[in-house]
Amino acid sequence: MKIGLDVLGGDYAPESNIKGAIEAQKLLDESQRIVLFGDEHATRKAIEAAGSDPSKFDYVHAPENISMHEHPTKAITQKPNSSIAKGFELLKSAEIDSFSSAGNTGAMLVGAMFSVKTIPGVLRPAIATNVPKLKEGFGILLDVGANADCKPEMLNQFALLGSLYAEHVYGIPTPKVGLLNIGEEEEKGNNLTVATYPLLKANNKINFIGNAEGRDLFSDHADVIVCDGYTGNVALKLAESFYVVTLKKGFKDPFFDRFNYERYGGSPILGVNAPVIIGHGISTPEAIKNMVLLSRDMIASQFIEKIRSAFN
Amino acid sequence: MKIGLDVLGGDYAPESNIKGAIEAQKLLDESQRIVLFGDEHATRKAIEAAGSDPSKFDYVHAPENISMHEHPTKAITQKPNSSIAKGFELLKSAEIDSFSSAGNTGAMLVGAMFSVKTIPGVLRPAIATNVPKLKEGFGILLDVGANADCKPEMLNQFALLGSLYAEHVYGIPTPKVGLLNIGEEEEKGNNLTVATYPLLKANNKINFIGNAEGRDLFSDHADVIVCDGYTGNVALKLAESFYVVTLKKGFKDPFFDRFNYERYGGSPILGVNAPVIIGHGISTPEAIKNMVLLSRDMIASQFIEKIRSAFN
């Protein structure tokens, strides 16, 4: 198993990424190798300086970086030696089994779609994020930004993608799927959700439990909540800001702790032909470590195969 | 000044509404009268039982109630003696200057649009809610549910409605108006926000400061945040649920205290020809009291006149 990791992406790169890789490596077995994309020489030196052994890792020399504010499509094509472009090049040729980066989200999305491509039958990939649940554990919210405008058929597919992710990667049996909406009743909503409801209701590959409201995000009402990428992104950033407030105010609580993005490592792009994970821009070593472990879990669970057969 | 109040609407009605009316009345001057819509006899008795003087109030006998789950349009037409139907009847004939209720939101919206009607030039009224700001005070978010689907022109009008409300009722000079979006740059967003941005930019009646993200809801980035009613409703309920969590966990903080809906009384319907306020379903006496005071402030500030001339 080859777990590709971008050393250059993220606000705290490369230090944070290298530290995270070192920590993650300790938890992997011998068959699981982390492949580091960045300046090989500098990366090896940094690993050595951190007291670890560079031979525990594989390397792909990709010294260029795509910054946070570059145009995704332009950057990917104009910087073939960037860590993200190289990562997707090797993911496409199956020299690595997954690729993750805390770098430019748009470049990650474009890279994934142009290299490994969308799984046949999937209309559009979606970015999923996990949402802490009040009682315990996590739920899934998607799409949180890949598709600002959605059609009902897309939301119906996101429901299946999210359900499979919750089941196979998070280990939630028969995940409850809810449609993010503004009322409990079937007829409530905007044009999109009103048209989506009957599709979800008729979808026998998911356990649809009806509408979920904004207040249900953290409750046990649903394990997977489906919405368009505009609404999901607004909801995600709103929830994050609330978490930041509790941090600033010094409120400690296991529920708020679960908001910590460091714990889950990143947001997967669901619906492409390989595990691809986007890390938070401010990824710490802990976040990077967990992104590597999530990559491993996605590979080990043969999640991509599960999606392929579900959409077959 | 005649401030119309529904005695029957809300989960804790009529007790809570009557107690709230009694408390509010103590803060009004002699020219300001609360007009109570409900069962007149029962209301008078309840006021007396609470140790207050029934002659301090005016009454309109409207013994029927529209429950939370009734179909708004049907209920309004089939229950002419309901407190909400009577309230709008008298609001239309200008026998009262405002009407507020913690009852059926849909009936309040339908009642307002069918009786006092939309202000000429306003495409669609919007429901505004206030949002606590981290530093101090409140901002405005609209629409939070009147219009699940919106056109760019509607959002452009909501911006002006919200701006006038923030200025004249909340006393915020030149309110900063933001567009709820999923990125800082002008070209970011869904079809609706991308098309709305240039309209807001060209609108010289507002102080447009660009996009606001989910994380900006509680910051000082914008005083007024504009979005479609679906997204606003999701964001509002999400924020409310977070506040409920802090309450349950026993976290005390002035910022979280400002989330308490009791403090601001209710959400106005902006864009109709009279002050109309929808209270929270679980309105306590404190919430009802503040709803009456907000009604008074909307009347006293001649807010409706300000909107009329702005849309003229």
User: Do B292 and B265 touch, CB atoms closer than 8 A?
Assistant: yes
Is position B233 within any domain? yes
User: Mean pLDDT over residues B127-138, rounded?
Assistant: 91
User: Which residue in A218, A229, A236 is closest to B245 by CB distance?
Assistant: A218
Give the integer Cα–Cα distance in Å for A150 and A189: 14
> Which pLDDT value is given to residue B126?
98
Residue A135 touches chain B, beta carbons under 8 Å: no
Examine the domain organization and report whether B131 and B54 are in the same domain: no
User: Do B101 and B6 touch, CB atoms closer than 8 A?
Assistant: yes
User: Mean pLDDT over residues B141-158, rounded?
Assistant: 97
Examine the domain organization and report whether B217 and B152 are in the same domain: yes
The CATH number of the domain where A213 resides is what?
Answer: 3.40.718.10
Buried b (16+ CB within 10 A) or exposed e, B27-63: ebeeebbbbbbbbbeebbebbeeeebeeeebbbbebb
> Which pLDDT value is given to residue A92?
98
> Which pLDDT value is given to residue B277?
97
Q: In which domain, by residue range, is A155 found?
A: 123-269
Confidence of residue A89 (pLDDT cuts 50, 70, 90): very high
The overall average pLDDT reported for chain A is 95
Is position B311 within any domain? no
Is position B28 within any domain? yes
- Assign A183 to helix, strand or coil: coil
Is position B312 within any domain? no
User: What value, to the nearest 5°, has the Cα angle with vertex B276 and ends B270 and B279?
Assistant: 105
Examine the domain organization and report whether B166 and B218 are in the same domain: yes
Q: Where a domain ends, among A269, A284, A300?
A: A269
Examine the domain organization and report whether B144 and B202 are in the same domain: yes
CB contact under 8 A, B242 and A242: yes
Is position B52 within any domain? yes
CB contact under 8 A, B238 and A219: no
Examine the domain organization and report whether B153 and B238 are in the same domain: yes
The overall average pLDDT reported for chain B is 95
> Which pLDDT value is given to residue A69?
87
Paired residues of B177 in beta bridges: B208, B224
> Which pLDDT value is given to residue A39?
98
- Helix runs in B118-172, H state only: 152-168
What ipTM score was computed for the predicted complex, to two decimals?
A: 0.94
A201: Cβ–Cβ under 8 A, 6 or more apart, which residues? A186, A208
pLDDT tens for A149-201 read 999 999 999 999 999 999 999 999 999 999 999 999 999 999 999 999 999 99
Asked if residue A231 has pLDDT above 90, the reply is yes
Strands A207-212 and A224-226: unpaired
> Which pLDDT value is given to residue B283?
87
Minimal Cα distance from B180: which residue of A? A234
Residue B169 touches chain A, beta carbons under 8 Å: no
Examine the domain organization and report whether A242 and A192 are in the same domain: yes
Is position B218 within any domain? yes
Residue B152 touches chain A, beta carbons under 8 Å: no
- Assign A139 to helix, strand or coil: strand
A26: Cβ–Cβ under 8 A, 6 or more apart, which residues? none
User: Mean pLDDT over residues B86-98, rounded?
Assistant: 98
Asked if residue A52 has pLDDT above 90, the reply is yes
Residue pointed to by tokens 């032909």: A273
CB contact under 8 A, A235 and B214: yes
Altogether, the residues listed in chain B come to a count of 312
Which of B230, B243, B251, B258 has the most A C-beta neighbours within 10 Å, making it the best mutation to test the interface with A?
A: B230
Chain B stretch 223-262, residues whose beta carbon is closer than 8 A to a beta carbon of chain A: 227-231, 233-242, 244-246, 249, 251, 253, 255
Confidence of residue B281 (pLDDT cuts 50, 70, 90): confident
Distance from CA of B195 to the nearest CA of A (A): 13
Neighbours of A3 (CB within 10 A): 29
Higher per-residue confidence, B99 vs B263: B99
Distance from CA of B251 to the nearest CA of A (A): 7
Examine the domain organization and report whether B140 and B55 are in the same domain: no
Strands B276-278 and A176-180: unpaired
Give the integer Cα–Cα distance in Å for B249 and B266: 25
Higher per-residue confidence, B312 vs B226: B226
> Which pLDDT value is given to residue B282?
84
Is position B310 within any domain? no
Confidence of residue A98 (pLDDT cuts 50, 70, 90): very high
Examine the domain organization and report whether B113 and B128 are in the same domain: no
Distance from CA of B196 to the nearest CA of A (A): 14
pLDDT tens for B96-124 read 999 999 999 999 999 999 999 999 999 99
The total of structural domains in chain A comes to 2
Residue A64: burial class (beta carbons within 10 Å; 0-12, 13-18, 19+) = middle
Q: At what angle are helices B152-168 and B191-202 packed, to 10 degrees?
A: 50
pLDDT tens for B200-259 read 999 999 999 999 999 999 999 999 999 999 999 999 999 999 888 888 888 888 888 888
Distance from CA of A281 to the nearest CA of B (A): 14
Span of A151-155, A200-204, A257-261 with lowest mean pLDDT: A257-261
Is position B222 within any domain? yes
Residue A65 touches chain B, beta carbons under 8 Å: no
Examine the domain organization and report whether B288 and B251 are in the same domain: no
> Which pLDDT value is given to residue A260?
83
Examine the domain organization and report whether A213 and A306 are in the same domain: no
Examine the domain organization and report whether A183 and A239 are in the same domain: yes
Examine the domain organization and report whether B136 and B226 are in the same domain: yes
Which residues in chain A touch residue B216, judged by CB atoms under 8 angstroms apart? 241
Residue B165: burial class (beta carbons within 10 Å; 0-12, 13-18, 19+) = buried
User: Mean pLDDT over residues A91-104, rounded?
Assistant: 97
> Which pLDDT value is given to residue A11?
92
Which residues in chain B touch residue A105, judged by CB atoms under 8 angstroms apart? none
pLDDT tens for A263-305 read 888 999 999 999 999 998 888 999 999 999 999 999 999 999 9
Through-space distance between the first and last CA atoms of chain A, rounded to whole angstroms? 25
CB contact under 8 A, B238 and A236: no
> Which pLDDT value is given to residue A253?
86
pLDDT tens for B4-54 read 999 999 999 999 999 999 999 999 999 999 999 999 999 999 999 999 999
Give the integer Cα–Cα distance in Å for A270 and A124: 9
CB contact under 8 A, A218 and B246: no
Give the integer Cα–Cα distance in Å for B195 and B151: 9
